[in-house]
Amino acid sequence: MDPSTKNRILTFLDTHYPHVGCELLYRQDYELLIAVVLSAQTTDQAVNKVTPVLFERFPSLEALADAPISAIESVIQTIGLYRTKAHHVKAIAQQLLSLHEGRVPSDKAALTALPGVGIKTANVVRAELFRIPEIAVDTHVHRLAYRLGFRQKKDDVLVTEKKLRKALPPERYILFHHQLIHFGRYRCTAKKPMCSTCPLIDLCKEKNKNL
């Protein structure tokens, strides 16, 4: 991608999404970690409906670690893969207490060793909690990175992450991640994106996509 095109994309994102951030609700570090794990293949909106109830009913890591799986399932059953995620929630609470003194670790290897935590989740947590420059490639970031020309269609999420890291200075990683999420969530959607009013339409590899 030539510098002028990249600058045009960044200027557009800065103009329309200058102060965007994480939309998941949380108060404590472990609440964010659990919310991100719950958000896999589920919308943030759906997660935000269940986490306040979950953390009110089980107001500490100890309470979550001791909670019956069925009790956790009953709270989060409206989100996808809730049975698997209920096991992850309980196991995460147990391991944070037994291995990390009740705190979410900042180390990527330690994070990805926790149940249900992959690279994307670890990157989100490291960026949000510790302000470590990371780009978490979720479905929106992956889609927009292709449409805007940062990656090739064949690239998987790991290759996409590497290409975005190379294309951007580290100080842009966190904001760029959130900007692409908001652009992809509310405008350049997977199905029926708002192409007719998009000023970047001439750059798009999927112009006027209508699935």
Catalytic residues: 120, 138
Query: Rounded distance, CA 180 to CA 142, Å?
Result: 9
Measured in whole angstroms, the distance separating CA 21 from the mean position of its chain's CA atoms is 11
Phi-psi group of 151: left, alpha or beta (phi > 0 → left; psi -120 to 50 → alpha; rest → beta): beta
Query: Rounded distance, CA 137 to CA 145, Å?
Result: 9
What is the token pair recorded at 79? 């989100």
Amino acid symbol at 51: T
Amino acid symbol at 49: K
Query: Rounded distance, CA 167 to CA 76, Å?
Result: 38
Backbone angles phi, psi at 72, to 5 degrees: -70, -45
Backbone angles phi, psi at 29, to 5 degrees: -60, -45
What is the token pair recorded at 77? 């059953």
Residue among 145, 141, 138 at smallest CA distance from 118: 138
